[in-house]
Structure 1
Amino acid sequence: MRGFAIFAHVSAPHIWKLAIQQTEFRQMKGLQKLAGIAATFQGLIYIAAFVYFGAFWSYPVDGSPVEKMTYMAENQLLFSMIYFLMYVVFGVFLAILVIGMYERLKHKVNPLITIGSLFGGIWVGLVIASGMISNIGLDHAINLMDANPEKALDMWIIVSVITESIGGGNELVGGLWVLLISVAAIQEGRLPRSLNYLGYFVGIAGIATIYPDKLFTEIFGVSQIVWFIWLGICLLTEENANKSIQQTANASAD
């Protein structure tokens, strides 16, 4: 009986530790799946946006202020839905992915992970803010249309410039996040090396958008579609994912 009591006394902390590890393992595994789903949907959102603006958008660039604002008013509902999807919904998925990647990589002390995740969080805020500003700004511009189409168009141009500046045309923050977590992932041996090299390219393209040229923005958008979907598939199906998560849970428990 005494031996059993000693065994129980010694084993209880170890059993408790194993229980904590298993709980953390299940939680992190679930988070990784959510992050994988989020990344995949982000790529699909990019594709939907490209299809909409490439095949259905016929904005009269050379038209008069009345023609331009009439077109925006006639397409307000669909346009607002697409922008809500592109920015607000995308931002929610991005938040899940940023947290998921941080949890996946944080088991070792690496400042790139912390700094990169900070930029990821900032990007989430900027993206969601862009969508909200655009949709509210368009509604105000359309309401001003009957009184003064020229001022309504001026307001919409200002709203568009703000949207492009903080979340649509300037991808510096997003590029830094992708680049830094790709560097951290390759240092930690997480994710396929080819995926991380693609992340280098995507990140550099995003940083290059500080130069006012649509080409870099388009390169960033197209290459990020591949990166998001590839990353999502890896997080959902990678054979070593469970091993990686278990290592992280063990390190946290230690």
Structure 2
Amino acid sequence: MTDFHKFGGIAGLIAAGTYLFGFVLLLSVLEPAGYGTGDIVTQAKFMAENQLTMYVWNLVIWILNAIVLVVLALATHDKLKEKSPAFSQVATSFALIWAGLILASGMLANISLGAVSQLYLTQPDQAGTLLRSLSLVEEGLGGGNELAGGLWVLILSWGALRANLFSKPLNYFGILIGISGLSTLIPTLAPITGAVFGLGFIGWFAWIGIVLLRN
């Protein structure tokens, strides 16, 4: 095992942790407190009153996730490049694009949090309008569809399957997640396939992390 593969395995486990942290905080703290409910002005008010919690949430699910995703992507690239260089190069390209989009979304989310919270103190309606506009941009970058992430795990898993790398159950699981990510481009399927993509990646990140640590 090279040190870099070990770092990739740790990055996979951390990535799984960021997703798990996001879901747990959303369901146990944010939603019970009113996050995502009411009109857009009410949502702006929620952000203004819960800045620290929202900042930590953004930091973990966006910024930290993007950082460890780069390490994981390069580690899997190193494992696959000898047996399937074309698949490895294409998959890693989409992984790095995805990491960039996630990082941009996190930076925008934090800038939005400060701007909306400050504006809400004097102009609540304008804060709601600003939040709506910034949320659309954020969704377009990293939350509205899962094209880049879906392509990464689909191509990586397909290439690993052809190269007899990792394990077949892990690769088939990755292909399933990749297809669910691509399916988020269809509006009628997005609510279901988006949940499959997000929850499935918790397991996939942890699984690939353990594989990299053991091999």
Task: State TM-score, norm by structure 1.
Answer: 0.79
Residue 97 of structure 1 is matched in structure 2 by 72
Q: Secondary structure at the match of 1:141?
A: helix
Of stretches 41-50 and 102-111 in structure 1, the one that deviates more from structure 2 is: 102-111
Deviation at 1:55, TM superposition (A): 1.2
- Determine which structure has more spread, i.e. the larger CA radius of gyration: 1
The amino acid of 2:197's aligned partner reads F
Deviations 1:189-232 (A, max 9, x none): 11011000000001001111112332221110011111111111
Deviation at 1:169, TM superposition (A): 2.6
Deviation at 1:60, TM superposition (A): 6.2
Alignment check: 8 A CA contact 2:40 2:128 kept:
no
Q: 1:59 aligns with which of 21, 35, 53?
A: 35
> In structure 1, what is the Cα distance between the partners aligned to 2:40 and 2:202?
35
Q: 2:151 aligned with 1:179, yes or no?
A: no
Alignment check: 8 A CA contact 2:40 2:131 kept:
no
Q: 2:5 aligned with 1:32, yes or no?
A: yes
Aligned length: 210
> In structure 1, what is the Cα distance between the partners aligned to 2:43 and 2:67?
31
The amino acid of 2:114's aligned partner reads D
Residue 75 of structure 1 is matched in structure 2 by 50
Alignment check: 8 A CA contact 1:138 1:159 kept:
no
Q: 2:49 aligned with 1:106, yes or no?
A: no
> In structure 1, what is the Cα distance between the partners aligned to 2:57 and 2:186?
26
> In structure 2, what is the Cα distance between the partners aligned to 1:211 and 1:79?
29
Residue 108 of structure 2 is matched in structure 1 by 133
> In structure 1, what is the Cα distance between the partners aligned to 2:156 and 2:142?
20
Residue 19 of structure 1 is matched in structure 2 by none
Residue 233 of structure 1 is matched in structure 2 by 210
What percentage of residue pairs aligned between the two structures are identical? 33
> In structure 1, what is the Cα distance between the partners aligned to 2:80 and 2:135?
36
> In structure 1, what is the Cα distance between the partners aligned to 2:16 and 2:68?
10
Residue 179 of structure 2 is matched in structure 1 by 204
> In structure 1, what is the Cα distance between the partners aligned to 2:84 and 2:19?
33
Q: 1:168 aligns with which of 124, 143, 149?
A: 143
Alignment check: 8 A CA contact 2:4 2:75 kept:
yes
Deviation at 1:62, TM superposition (A): 2.3
Query: Structure 2: where are the runs of 5+ without partners?
Result: none
Deviation at 1:162, TM superposition (A): 1.4
Of stretches 198-207 and 151-160 in structure 1, the one that deviates more from structure 2 is: 151-160
Alignment check: 8 A CA contact 2:40 2:129 kept:
no
Deviation at 1:108, TM superposition (A): 3.2
The amino acid of 2:35's aligned partner reads Y
Q: Secondary structure at the match of 1:144?
A: helix
Alignment check: 8 A CA contact 1:175 1:204 kept:
yes
> In structure 2, what is the Cα distance between the partners aligned to 1:118 and 1:68?
36
Residue 189 of structure 1 is matched in structure 2 by 164
Deviation at 1:84, TM superposition (A): 1.1
Runs of 4+ in 1 over 6 A off after TM superposition: none
Q: 2:198 aligned with 1:221, yes or no?
A: yes
Residue 250 of structure 1 is matched in structure 2 by none
Alignment check: 8 A CA contact 1:169 1:217 kept:
no
Shift in alpha-carbon separation, 1:103–1:145, aligned structure 2, 3 A: same
Alignment check: 8 A CA contact 2:120 2:127 kept:
yes
Cα RMSD, aligned residues only: 1.5
